[in-house]
Amino acid sequence: MAFHAVDIIRTKRDGGELTGEQIDWVIAAYTRGDVAEEQMAALAMAIFLNGMAPQEISRWTDAMIASGERLSWDLDRPTVDKHSTGGVGDKITLPLAPLVAACGAAVPQLSGRGLGHTGGTLDKLESIPGWRGALSNDEMLQVLRSAGAVICAAGSGLAPADRKLYSLRDITSTVECIPLIASSIMSKKIAEGAQAIVLDVKTGSGAFMSDPARARELAATMVGLGARAGVDTRALVTAMDVPLGRTAGNAVEVAESVEVLAGGGPADVVELTLTLAREMLDAVGIDADPAGALADGRAMDAWRTLILAQGGDPDAPLPRPRHTHTVTATSAGVVTRLDALAIGRAVWLLGAGRSRKEDPVSAAAGATWHAVPGDEVAVGAPLITLQCDDEQLLGPALAEVEAGLQVGAPGAVVPRMPLILDRIVP
């Protein structure tokens, strides 16, 4: 059945509900180029302003899945995937995928690149000499069979409607729309073919959804979409008011991830990695202790196998910066602020992130903070070290750090979000 794009736009503009047939038609027609960009931009804005009913979001997601291929995996172990909505210092995928693989599940982790102040998993892993993230479907399957996990870029055949719509939303100020965010994420995740999905929905200044109530709404919407598609889906709402761990950037986050796999690393990264691993294993019915796999070296073995299977050298030195600068405390007291957005922007300005998808990134750029909110520091104590390849980038990055880092009076009490704010299941 053919429709007119103008009629569909008018229906949603006036607060009406689109039929399943209208949604199927407009997504298919837009994907093949029969609906113009300006018409889809108008429809996206109408959805942004008037929202969508649950059945509309579900059908919209299904239509985007149907625009491309849906993967399936011929494996002798259950498959489970994790998705994070992104944040600063969020390197959790790196230790998590091999850890879950070491416990008996298969993890087909299709990841993305960083944009703006949030980092990208592929950019981080490309710091490892030889590592390759662009794999064919057959190569993905071979890595999954040999390593138990694969971390790579999504192929062009996966939800192509979303790829077009994502770019359009970015230039039409319709990004912050829960129906469009949820359907974008879940269309790709469901099309990946995993039996279960665990979502890490960030909230706080450095997150896409800074308001915890909105983050919970997004999480619940995505869990509902997964359940309606027959995929066991659950979500954690986690804190991103302060950056995760002690590093943000590319090579520095790889190094910190290896520390976690070796049984060390920052407490918050370890806690979140283990919490997500337990959710993923529970979702596919595996009774295993991921903490044991970290302690006895199985997770590290899985990491090495994964990196080697994708062409990387796990023993090769990581890129080092040409320039570093350490900010020190000018007074004694308590660190009262380490704002995730400010640190993320500083790292982006140092060259670790990009403004456009085609921009290159620096593997060596990044930041390491030596104190977090609540820590006592003395005069002259190091607070944060910035690193980059271009010394001229230090000035703008330092301005961001100075705006986001604060030391208060000795004994100051610093309120913090709990790391795990909520757990949402169907």
Q: Which of 275, 253, 273 is nearest to 263 (CA)?
A: 273
Among 62, 162, 232, 268, the active-site one is: 162
Among 113, 188, 246, 304, the active-site one is: 188
Find out whether 366 and 251 touch, Cβ atoms under 8 Å: yes
The dihedral region occupied by 325, where left means phi > 0, alpha psi between -120 and 50, and beta the remainder, is beta
Find out whether 114 and 344 touch, Cβ atoms under 8 Å: no
Find out whether 330 and 144 touch, Cβ atoms under 8 Å: no
Find out whether 361 and 115 touch, Cβ atoms under 8 Å: no
Among 59, 91, 164, 169, the active-site one is: 169
- CB-based burial, 178-206: b 16+ in 10 Å, e otherwise: bbbbbbbbbbbbbbbbbbbbbbbbbbbbb
Tokens standing for residue 222: 């995505």
SS3 375: coil
- Residues forming a β-bridge with 82: 198
Name the H helices within 288-421. 290-295, 298-309, 340-347, 394-404
Rg, Å, the chain Cα set: 22
Sheet containing strand 420-424, strands side by side: 80-84, 196-203, 232-239, 420-424
Name the H helices within 311-424. 340-347, 394-404
Could you confirm whether 169 is annotated as catalytic?
Answer: yes
Among 84, 111, 183, 184, the active-site one is: 184
Tokens standing for residue 235: 């979500």
Q: Which helix (H) or strand (E) holds 63?
A: helix 54-66
Could you confirm whether 188 is annotated as catalytic?
Answer: yes
Find out whether 187 and 157 touch, Cβ atoms under 8 Å: no
Could you confirm whether 304 is annotated as catalytic?
Answer: no
**From CA 422, how far away is CA 216, in angstroms rounded?**
8
How many other C-beta atoms lie within 10 A of the C-beta of residue 379?
A: 11
Could you confirm whether 162 is annotated as catalytic?
Answer: yes
Among 12, 59, 82, 83, the active-site one is: 83
Give the position of tokens 């979000």. 417
SS3 95: helix
Which residues are catalytic, by number? 83, 162, 169, 184, 188
